[in-house]
Amino acid sequence: MLVEFITAGGVGRGRPLVLAVNQVIVRQDNGTPILVAAEFGAEKAQAAAKVGDADFQHLLRALGINETVVCDRVELPGPPPGARLIAGPDVKRGT
């Protein structure tokens, strides 16, 4: 599986770092895993899960990560002063 790391400048602002890997763990600054992906076996089956997915804890264990992550609700910062809501959070994009 290939993983691309995009530099802080963003997409199109320099070449991404591309690595061939078998397992990926993305963690928050405090070390909490929030995304895992892995490639298994000769057929190179792939599995990926993010925090909150039903199989996230199972995939963590399969990768040998013995941590339990609980995610009840994500708190996002409010909009900046003067911002207007142009679409609600329940709008499906691209359909």
pLDDT number for residue 77:
83
- In the sheet with 33-40, reading across from the earlier edge strand, the strands are 23-27, 33-40, 45-50
Structural domain boundaries of the chain? 23-71
What band does 94 get if pLDDT is binned at 50, 70 and 90?
A: low
Tokens of 49: 């899960």
pLDDT number for residue 90:
65
pLDDT number for residue 93:
55
Phi, psi of 21 (to 5 degrees): -135, 165
pTM for the model stands at 0.64
Interval 54-87: pLDDT, tens: 899 999 998 888 888 877 666 778 888 888 877 7
What band does 24 get if pLDDT is binned at 50, 70 and 90?
A: very high
Average pLDDT of every residue of the chain: 84
